[in-house]
Amino acid sequence: MFPNAPILGPLYWIIMGVIYSVNLAGFYYRTKDSKIQMTWWKWLFSVLWFIGINVVIAGGFTLFGENEMRAGLYFTGLFGIIFIILGVGLWRLLNTR
């Protein structure tokens, strides 16, 4: 990512790791406060959903970076909508007891 300053690459991902951890901790407390009973499969689906939406964003922007604007828009649009729908479904699933 940073060819002229290779130290910045690992640093970037360390910071990203911290951000992901904070996000996960925040989600943990939110589920506790919302009285959502988390099971192992609810955690699995939630983490997969979060990885998925990140991959969609990263994928779309990778295509933008390749100058494939149309492909990037279609990719983000199509899979973004799919993941938003999945996210709504997942939230409802998380709230079931």
Residues that bind another protein in the complex, under the rule CB under 8 A: 1, 3, 12, 15-16, 19-27, 29-30, 33, 50, 53-55, 57-68, 70-71, 74-75
Cα 10 to chain centroid distance, Å, stands at: 20
Q: What is the smallest separation between the CB atom of 93 and another protein, expressed in angstroms?
A: 18
Nearer Cβ to another protein (74/85): 74
Nearer to another protein, 4 or 96 (CB): 4
- Nearest alpha-carbon partner for 75 in 88, 64, 90, 89: 64
Query: 36-68 burial, b for 16+ CB within 10 Å, e for fewer?
Result: eeeeeebeebbeebbeebeebeeebeebeeeee
Of the two residues 45 and 50, which places its CB atom closer to another protein in the complex? 50
Minimum gap (Å) between residue 96 Cβ and another protein? 22
